[in-house]
Amino acid sequence: MLHRFAILAVVVMISSTLRAAEPTPLELLQNAKRVVFLGDSITAAGPYVANVEAWMLTQKWERRPFVINAGLPSETVSGLSEDGHAGGKFPRPDLAERLDRVLAVTKPDLIIACYGMNCGIYLPFDDARHQRYEAGLKHLREKAAAIGAKVIHITPPLYDDQRSPKPFSYNEVLDKYSDGLLAHRADGWVVIDLHHPMTAAVKEHRVKDPQFTFQPDGVHPNADGHWFVAQQFILACGDAAACMFATPQEMLAAHEVPQGVLPLVQQRSNILRDAYVATAGHKRPGVAVGLPLDQAEQKAAELTKQIGVLLMTK
């Protein structure tokens, strides 16, 4: 019996050591050459991705990765869609339908994925739906592993029940989706928690301002909400000081980065997003096509030069 316990203790010790050796979000980001953000309309909107890119400009790294926002509005990883979505015009797009093409055209070595808001399809919690979400995340990881890419997961944002009330709390549904995703840390998944800090922050703000919100329509973040999303990513990368500022502009100013940099970063991100998403193809109507990929990359390179000139003037 003692021998059996001794073996168990060694296994636990080795497992703990392996977990401790897993790369951090910062290490994954620093070692990546090409980073692709995947997600729904919250990611596709772009500000939190641009805020993270702008933060990277304040870091004294030897090189920075090439960042592509490949988010697609309405998308899920669960492959589910509620009846009458978009007034019955089209079902929600499924990441699995376009994933191979996205990976082929973007060639990432790091994927940052934020899904879940749409995956519960705005209905009460159902275990079968949740299992579809889990299966979709695992499919994404399998496809990433097949091309040698790492994955950082971000739990879904808050759903603001006060701003878009339902007969039940959809945010509590997302609590369960987030808890399930966080539990995969024990499996070696790199997961950044956005959902619980965002829920707590809104609750705290409403003590003084009952009407406070990060999401005026209950789902889509405003500028402060996007900065909050970026802050959780930056915090996970170990830069707590950058997260003390109320806006990305204040954060950049503290590093003496000219104010003209962030709009250029956002413009570059949007140009690349529209081109890469269109080139990969998808089934979601109403998405901007953008420039042909070669022209988009040329325009992005020009904007990178403009950003570099501004940074040299600080």
Q: DSSP letters along 152-215, please?
A: EEEPPPPP-TTTS--SS-HHHHHHHHHHHHHHGGGGT-EEE--HHHHHHHHHHHHHH-TT--S-
Rounded Cα distance between 119 and 131, Å, is: 10
Query: In the prediction, which pLDDT does 314 show?
Result: 61
CA dihedral 74, 75, 76, 80 (to 10 degrees): 70
Average pLDDT score over residue span 99-104:
98
**What's the whole-model pTM score?**
0.92
Average pLDDT score over residue span 197-218:
98
Ordered by where they begin, the domains of the chain are: 23-312 (3.40.50.1110)
Give the end-to-end CA distance of the chain in Å, rounded to a whole number.
67
Q: Write out pLDDT tens, residues 75-88.
A: 999 999 999 999 99
E strands, the chain, in order: 34-39, 66-69, 110-114, 150-154, 190-192
How far out from the chain centre does Cα 59 lie? Answer: 20
Nearest-5° angle of CA 234, CA 239, CA 243? 65
Query: In the prediction, which pLDDT does 8 show?
Result: 37
Query: In the prediction, which pLDDT does 276 show?
Result: 98
**Helix or strand run (H / E) with residue 127:** helix 127-146
Query: In the prediction, which pLDDT does 22 show?
Result: 79
Beta-carbon neighbour count of residue 145 at 10 Å? 11
In the chain, % of residues over pLDDT 70: 93
Query: In the prediction, which pLDDT does 62 show?
Result: 87
